Structure 1
Amino acid sequence: METKEKLDDMIRGGQFIVKETKAEDVFTPEDFSDEQKMMRDSVKEFVDREIWSKKEEFEKKNYDLTEEVMRKAGDLGFLGVAVPEEYGGLGMDFVSTMLVCDYISGATGSIATAFGAHTGIGTLPITLYGTEEQRKKYVPKLATGEWFGAYCLTEPGAGSDANSGKTKAVLSEDGSHYRITGQKMWISNAGFCDIFIVFARIEDDKNITGFIVEKDLDNGISLGDEEKKLGIHSSSTRQVFFNETKVPAENLLGERNGGFKIAMNALNVGRIKLAAACLDAQRRVLGSAVSYANDRVQFDTPISKFGAIRSKLAEMAMSTYAGEAACYRASKNIEDRINLRKENGSSHQEAELKGVEEFAIECSILKVAVSEDIQRCTDEGIQIYGGMGFSADAPMESAWRDARISRIYEGTNEINRMLSVGMLVKKAMKGHVDLLGPAKDVADELTGIPSFDTPDYTKLLAEEKAMLAKLKKVFLMVAGSAAQKYGEELDQHQQLLLASADILIETYMAESAILRAEKNAIRYDEDSQNVQIAMAKLRLYKAVDKINEKAKEGIISFAEGDEQKMMLMGLKRYTKYENYPNIVELRNTIADRIVEDNMYSM
């Protein structure tokens, strides 16, 4: 009973938008245990030796090198961090699995893709949905890198609409096997994998069904040529064709008609892991950029001393800091819920599924925010290098190309934006998150007399936290009014959903940065954390700007007359600083540290 009460009291996914989160309740990178730090350092050493030193080779479409590095990663246990010990893995906690994904993915997108596709969507569906026999047969080989996995969902006519796939599975008359026929595309690891997770439709079922298909080219399986891609050059990406491929009936994954659920839940994990996979890429891009800026002399001065360059370095560092804060905040929330579900009697599989599903909103938020941050980071990296940045001989060109796929993987950012708001509304309808009450309070506040009390902003980050509370009111004002006006037809107003999603995303990312800085300033002391505080304040300022823009766009799109005027006045009130931060000073504080350390060193 006590565990059940803890589960009910624990913060729920999406609840951050209506509930204040205290700094002491968030997990930050500064909270890593000694064991986690050792794992991080082991992964970094492996990446520097086996991947970063061979970065140029990965641009030459060396698929054999990718397979070789993946096997070495398997030998060291990195492929099995999320796999329970009874199936040959390390059985590490969720935060630690995020940590490994973070640091193994930064040197090249080719390994990031191979690692993510194998450990995530290539292995997790069997770990979480497979029978005991399936898990014992396949998972140990996947955990050690003896075998590699691939995930066959996307089809030429079924991208974002994953459940519309045409691949068919026909059961034999004696019920002993299925014959699968269809075409899958953009299949990562297809060239060297040993098993496919394949989604196909049985008869006229409403939903697709999952299957575990061993790769046997004599069993009606053929591969297209390696795709010619903008980036991730050494990631094997091919079409896979199934022609009456015979699959034992016992290889049906989960339950008939349950494939869409498997696909979506696998993508939830994939989304937060993809965000983590972008973090070390940002650190490395920033490290290369500041090193170049310190060495590059123009007008007898290192360009790292020029304000235009310092501004770029500061904002690259700020987005990296916020991404770290948000990713590890959410991962610990997921881990805590997994652990409590286990204490409450759930199996490992059920606990992990429900734990990640609970924070699916945050998974989508992180996927969008961090994938767009790495794209901006690499773009600014090219700009800092100038003409040399456009050259394939410099590291920025390949980093920029590799980063681009992140906005498409695991559901496009547009899909994930709409999902984040849609899932939050569904949670509200189920009573899991109270949006109606807080939204009504905001509506009443807009028509009431504003308070003229002077707040006490003398405490650490007090005005910033007050601003965060107001930004949450902006979301409730816009999304609440839109939901009230359009009801069940809200999902047909995509541009309004996108604007609302940006408010949600910016609030979560800014709050995560503020809470991390506050926790560390309390833990250590305020003066020693001046750079972290500067990054948090800068991230909030950027959020306020974007939220103001997106909320105005949303309000004008559906409100008219006095209602529109009232909401625009409310927006002005909710996005107004009492004391505006000196943005140039904040950037210079951050740049001073980055330039002096010659790297990102938070």
Structure 2
Amino acid sequence: MAVSSIEGLNFNLTEEHLAVKEAAREFAQTELLPTAIERDTHSKFPKEEVKKMGELGFLGMMVSPEYGGGGMDTVSYVLAMEEISKVDASASVVMSVNNSLVCWGLETFGTEEQKQKYLTRLASGEIIGSFCLSEPEAGSDATSQRTTAFDKGDHYLLNGTKNWITNGGTSSVSLVVAQTNVELKHKGINCLIVEKGWDGFVVGKKEDKMGIRSSDTHSLMFTDVKVPKENRIGEDGFGFKFAMTTLNGGRIGIAAQALGIAAGAYELALKYSKERKAFGKSISEHQAIQFKLAEMATKIEAARLLVYKAARLKDEHKDFVQAAAMAKLFASEVAMWATTEAVQIHGGYGYVKEYHVERLMRDAKITQIYEGTSEIQKLVIAREMLK
């Protein structure tokens, strides 16, 4: 059975943790907040802001300093994710994909040559990466890969389409999961490192999304793209295991994003409730509003502990699969609920862009969908329980 106890886990934050948290909060408030509404409205990618994130070390936080990263633990990463997500989930998802899926996957399973060639530039923020698993007919059922990578001796010939790819239009490096041997099913899948600009690699249109609108989401098309054999991650047939293992860690990042969205909405609602007057007093003095705020604070704190637990287990090299799925499931549900409550507390003002909470509500929904839907998280939790 998977680890389910919190015995022995230390949730106290170190001075380094608190410094990371404060640095992320300051960056979010000074660099992201002023342009968040405009970028959301026009679906504008935060190019300059992401560049600064790289300069501050937020795009390779857990990567070893040997490869240009910060060498930090997962707890530091989720603290930074929470603070940035309080303000702008579009920016934090760029950070999440680059850290959790691309950099972690390459450092953990890549060859030394792959790390030197790609990881160092990704960790520093010189370039950003994307993780390509979903397809038009392969979302939750990740085994049904239609993208193919046939072995041609010294290279693979890559063909197919990937959907809903975060950083799809701006990434320089894509980790592409593809079927090499159909007869072997999921054991015949590989993951290949593909560079933007290679012949046959086309970036499709940018998706017009409900939320996280300034993040960069595209379809990617591959037509007879030649991928050198040395760009395969792991042994032949390792691709599906690579994807699932990487996503297990990625869920912690998205759980932290959901937590941040919820916490950001709560902070705005609390502040507004103290300023807004109704029936001769601040609405925070009305029991109906107090009950909403109390329930928001309680559920957010519960989500925070689940996220911290998953991060601690990962840092201690313990089984964190169930904990990560629980954290993502609960935090995403809290994010959707808390942002809706924040809009309600704001009343009519909550329905207009100026007050930010309507954007947070739209952003919250995706946390119940990407990197494994809530339904998939329940399956993962049940599977781990029944081991």
Do residues 51 (structure 1) and 43 (structure 2) align? Answer: no
* Counterparts of 2:270 and 2:73, CA distance in 1: 34
Q: Tell me which of 71, 78, 94 is aligned to 2:74.
A: 94
SS of equivalent to 2:157: strand
Contact kept, 8 Å, 1:75 with 1:145, in 2: the verdict is: yes
Alignment of 1:331-370 (within 5 A): 331-336=311-316, 338=317, 355=318, 358-370=319-331
Q: Which residue of 2 aligns with 1:109?
A: 89
* Aligned with residue 14 of structure 1, among 3, 10, 15: 3
* 2:243 maps to 1:231: no
Residue identity in the other structure for 2:76: S
The offset of 1:333, in angstroms, is 2.7
User: Greater share of strand residues, 1 or 2?
Assistant: 2
Alpha-carbon displacement from aligned partner over 1:392-415 (angstroms, at most 9, x marks no partner): 232111110000000001110011
1:14 is paired with a residue whose SS is coil
Which residue among 161, 165, 176 is the counterpart of 2:145?
Answer: 165
1:81 to 61, 85, 88: 61
With over 3 angstroms needed to count, the CA separation of the structure-2 counterparts of 1:89 and 1:196, relative to structure 1, is: same
* TM-score normalized by the length of structure 1: 0.62
Q: Do the aligned partners of 1:150 and 1:193 also contact (CA within 8 Å) in 2?
A: yes
Matches within 5 A, 1:487-506: none
Q: CA deviation at 1:63?
A: 3.2
Q: Deviations over 1:93-148 (max 9, x none)?
A: 22222222222222112112111112121222211111111111110000011111
Alignment correspondent of 2:104: 124
Work out which of the residue numbers 165, 187, 203 in structure 1 matches 2:165.
187
- The answer as to whether partners of 2:306 and 2:326 remain within 8 angstroms in 1 is no
CA distance in 1, matches of 2:81, 2:276: 33
Hey, what's the Cα distance between the residues in 1 that align with 2:82 and 2:277? 33
Which amino acid letter does the alignment assign opposite residue 102 of structure 2? G
Q: How does 1:553-592 map to 2 (within 5 A)?
A: none
2:139 and 2:336 map into 1 onto residues whose CA distance is: 22
How many residue pairs get aligned? The number is 384
| C-alpha deviation, 1:69, in angstroms | 1.2
Pick from 145, 156, 178 the counterpart of residue 178 of structure 1.
Answer: 156
Q: Offset of 1:330 from its aligned partner?
A: 2.9
Counterpart of 1:61 (choices 26, 42, 52) is 42
* Contact kept in structure 1, 2:25 and 2:80, CA below 8 Å: no
For residues 160 and 310 of structure 2, the distance between their equivalents in structure 1, rounded to whole angstroms, comes to 38
Please report how far the alpha carbon of residue 323 of structure 1 lies from its aligned counterpart in structure 2 after TM superposition.
Answer: 1.6
Is contact 1:14–1:424 with CA below 8 Å preserved after alignment? no
- Hey, what's the Cα distance between the residues in 2 that align with 1:240 and 1:89? 28
Cα deviation for residue 267 of structure 1 reads 0.8
Paired position in structure 1 for 2:351: 390
Query: Offset of 1:318 from its aligned partner?
Result: 0.6
Output aligned runs, 1:226-305, within 5 Å: 226-305=206-285
Counterparts of 2:4 and 2:356, CA distance in 1: 40
Letter in 2 for 1:125: G
Query: What secondary structure is seen at the aligned counterpart in 2 of 1:63?
Result: coil
Q: Which amino acid aligns with 1:313?
A: L
2:185 equivalent to 1:206: yes
Which has the bigger relative contact order, CA under 8 A and spacing at least 6? 2
Q: Which of 298, 304, 315 is the matching residue for 1:324?
A: 304
Deviation at 1:266, TM superposition (A): 0.9
Q: Secondary structure at the match of 1:59?
A: helix
Asked whether the equivalents of residues 27 and 328 of structure 1 are also in contact (C-alpha less than 8 Å), the reply is: no
Structure with the higher helix share, 1 or 2: 1
Distance (Å, rounded) in 1 between the aligned partners of 2:302 and 2:181: 48
Residue 374 of structure 2 corresponds to residue 413 of structure 1:
yes
For the 8 Å contact 1:181–1:243, the answer to whether it is kept is: yes
* Distance (whole Å) between structure 1 residues aligned to residue 130 and residue 312 of structure 2: 28
Taking the aligned partners of 2:196 and 2:119, their CA distance within structure 1 comes to 15
Deviations 1:254-293 (A, max 9, x none): 1211111111111110111211122232222111111111
Shift of 1:62: 4.5
Computing the radius of gyration over CA atoms, which structure comes out larger, 1 or 2? 1
8 Å CA contact retained: 2:2, 2:384:
no
Matched, 1:372 2:333: yes
Q: Aligned partners of 2:355 and 2:314: how far apart in 1?
A: 39
Q: Kindly tell me: are residues 187 and 391 of structure 1, through their superposed partners in 2, closer, same or farther at Cα, counting changes over 3 Å?
A: same
Farther-moved stretch of structure 1 (90-99 vs 236-245) = 90-99
1:335 and 1:116 map into 2 onto residues whose CA distance is 17
* Structure 2 gaps, min length 5: none
Alignment match, 1:196: 174
Match of 1:26 among 6, 9, 12: 9
Shift of 1:235: 0.6
User: Is the Cα contact below 8 Å between 1:286 and 1:317 reproduced in 2?
Assistant: yes
Cα contact 1:106–1:112 (8 A) shared by 2:
no
CA deviation profile, 1:49-93 (whole Å, cap 9, x unmatched): 1112222122123434x1221111111111121101111111112
Report how far residue 26 of structure 1 moved: 3.0
For 1:326-374, what per-residue CA distance to the aligned partner results, in whole angstroms no more than 9, with x for missing partners?
A: 22133223322x3xxxxxxxxxxxxxxxx4xx11011101100001001
1:36 aligns to 2:17 (yes or no): yes
C-alpha distance in structure 2 between counterparts of 1:396 and 1:415, whole Å:
28
Give the Cα separation in 1 of the matches to 2:238 and 2:30: 42
Instruction: Name the CA distance, whole Å, in 1 between partners of 2:50 and 2:239.
Output: 28
Deviation at 1:229, TM superposition (A): 0.8
Work out the CA distance in 2 between the residues paired with 1:422 and 1:203: 27
The DSSP-based 3-state class of the residue aligned with 1:147 is coil
Equivalent-residue separation in structure 1 for 2:202 and 2:119 (angstroms): 24
- The separation in 2 between residues aligned to 1:171 and 1:331, in whole angstroms, is 38
Q: Which runs of 4+ in 1 moved over 4 A?
A: none
Aligned-partner residue type, residue 14 of structure 1: V
Pairing 1:430-469 to 2, within 5 Å after superposition? none
Unaligned runs of 5+ in 1: 1-11, 339-354, 427-602
Task: Give the AA of the match of 2:32.
Answer: I
SS class of match (2:290): helix
Query: How many Å separate the matches in 2 of 1:328 and 1:203?
Result: 39
Query: Taking structure 1 as reference, are residues 96 and 13 closer, same or farther at Cα in structure 2, changes over 3 Å only?
Result: farther
Q: Secondary structure at the match of 2:150?
A: strand
Cα RMSD after superposing both structures: 1.5
Q: Under a length normalisation based on structure 2, what TM-score does the superposition of the two structures give? A: 0.96
Structure-2 change in CA distance of 1:124 and 1:418 (3 Å): same
